[in-house]
Structure 1
Amino acid sequence: MSERKALVVRGGWEGHAPVEATELFLPFLRENGFEVRVEESPEVYADADALAATDLIVQSVTMSEISHDQLKGLRAAVAAGTGMAGWHGGIADSYRNSSDYLQLIGGQFATHPSKEPGACKGSQEDNYLPHTVELTDLGREHPITAGLADFELDTEQYWVLHDDLIDVLATTTHPVRPWHPWHRPITSPAVWTRQWGEGRIMVATPGHSVDILKDANVRTIIERGMLWATRTA
């Protein structure tokens, strides 16, 4: 059987440490039979031959921009069966200028609520809140999350805008706090999958920093998610 091919695309905002974060998962991919190619921008998405030969795209590109040809190539590849997986802003907050990318992924970072204003110091930690990631009924049976229990994190808690074509494996709920303007708890997807044509997509919103990616639950979800998303035919 020929070796499977994974394409790691990284870049964008350096606050998410795209190089260090993706390097964390390269040994896992190689141990699971992938030949790994790493690219530092989405330019490769415009290479139809390269994407047609790719079984899995792992993307870690926060914000940044994507051209028409690059996005067209990415969408076509996923629809034809290339899998796609990623975490946090590297997949759920990429290419804000592109509504077609948002449609492909099915969910978009909107914000991460902060601590009480008096406790904010102007650093990333202002947005670190203790919260629970809760598995859905589907998540308790799905191969990505089966056997895991609800778990706690103290990091950014993503508020996600999403559509109904995603299959939600885990959620997180933003409570009502006196300093926030909403008036009832808001539940956002924290882990989801999406079928797009013949391709599979997996998104995990935890993963702001490398220490969170090393959390046993988060790492398990991402590793299983990459395998699940990989081309099936």
Structure 2
Amino acid sequence: MSERKALVVRGGWEGHAPVEATELFLPFLREQGFEVRIEETREVYADAAALAETDLIVQSVTMADITHDQFKGLRAAVEAGTGLVGWHGGIADSYRNSSDYLQLIGGQFATHPSKEPGLCGGGQEDNYLKYTVEMTDLGRKHPITEGIADFELDTEQYWVLHDDLIDVLATTTHPVQPYHPWHRPITSPAVWTRLWGEGRIVVATPGHSVDVLQDANVRTIIERGMLWATRTA
């Protein structure tokens, strides 16, 4: 059997440590029999021949741009069966300039609520909150999250705008606080899958920093997600 091929595309905002974060998963991919190619730009997405040979794309690109041809190539690859997996802003806040990309992914980062103003000091930690990732009924039996109980994190809690074509494996709820303007709790998807053509997409919103990705639950979800999304044809 020929070796499966994974393409790691990374870049964008350095605050999400795209190099360090993706390096964390390279040993796993190679142990699972993937030949891994790493790209620091999105130009490879316009290379139809390269994507046709790619079974899995792992993307960690936050707050960047994508050209029409690059997105067209990415979408065509997914529709043809290439899996697409990512975490946090590396997939849910990648290309704000492309509404078509938002449709492909099915969910878009809107914000990460902050702590009480009096506890904020102006750093990234202002947005670190203790919150719970709760498995849905589907998540309790899905291959990506089966056997994983609800778990707590202390990091950015993503508020996500999404559509109904995603299959939600886990959620997180933003509570009402006197220093925030919303009036009832808001539940956002925290882990979801999406079928697009012949392809499978997996998004996990935890993953702001390497230590979060090293959490046993988060890492297991992402690694299982990679295997589940890999081209099945």
On whether the aligned pair clears a TM of 0.5, the verdict is yes
Distance in 2, Cα, partners of 1:199 & 1:120: 42
Amino acid at match of 2:146: A
Residue of structure 1 equivalent to 2:143 = 143
Residue of structure 2 equivalent to 1:109 = 109
Residue of structure 1 equivalent to 2:50 = 50
Distance in 2, Cα, partners of 1:170 & 1:132: 10
Question: TM-score, normalising length from structure 2?
Answer: 1.00
Amino acid at match of 1:215: D
Question: TM-score, normalising length from structure 1?
Answer: 1.00
Residue of structure 1 equivalent to 2:128 = 128
Residue of structure 2 equivalent to 1:118 = 118
Q: Which runs of 5+ in 1 are unaligned?
A: none
Say what the alpha-carbon RMSD is for the aligned residues: 0.3
Residue of structure 1 equivalent to 2:100 = 100
Amino acid at match of 2:204: A
Distance in 2, Cα, partners of 1:209 & 1:101: 24
Residue of structure 1 equivalent to 2:39 = 39
Q: Deviations over 1:136-187 (max 9, x none)?
A: 0000000000000000000000000000000000000000000000000000
Residue of structure 1 equivalent to 2:25 = 25
Residue of structure 2 equivalent to 1:88 = 88
SS of match in other structure, 1:125: helix
Q: Which runs of 5+ in 2 are unaligned?
A: none
What is the 5 A alignment of 1:67-216? 67-216=67-216
SS of match in other structure, 2:145: coil
TM-superposed deviation, 1:66 = 0.2
TM-superposed deviation, 1:203 = 0.3
Residue of structure 1 equivalent to 2:223 = 223
Distance in 1, Cα, partners of 2:41 & 2:129: 31
Structure 1 segments of 4+ aligned residues over 6 angstroms from their partners: none
Distance in 2, Cα, partners of 1:95 & 1:148: 31
TM-superposed deviation, 1:210 = 0.2
TM-superposed deviation, 1:48 = 0.2
Distance in 2, Cα, partners of 1:25 & 1:209: 14
Residue of structure 2 equivalent to 1:63 = 63
TM-superposed deviation, 1:77 = 0.4
Amino acid at match of 1:36: V
TM-superposed deviation, 1:122 = 0.5
Distance in 2, Cα, partners of 1:64 & 1:169: 27
TM-superposed deviation, 1:126 = 0.2
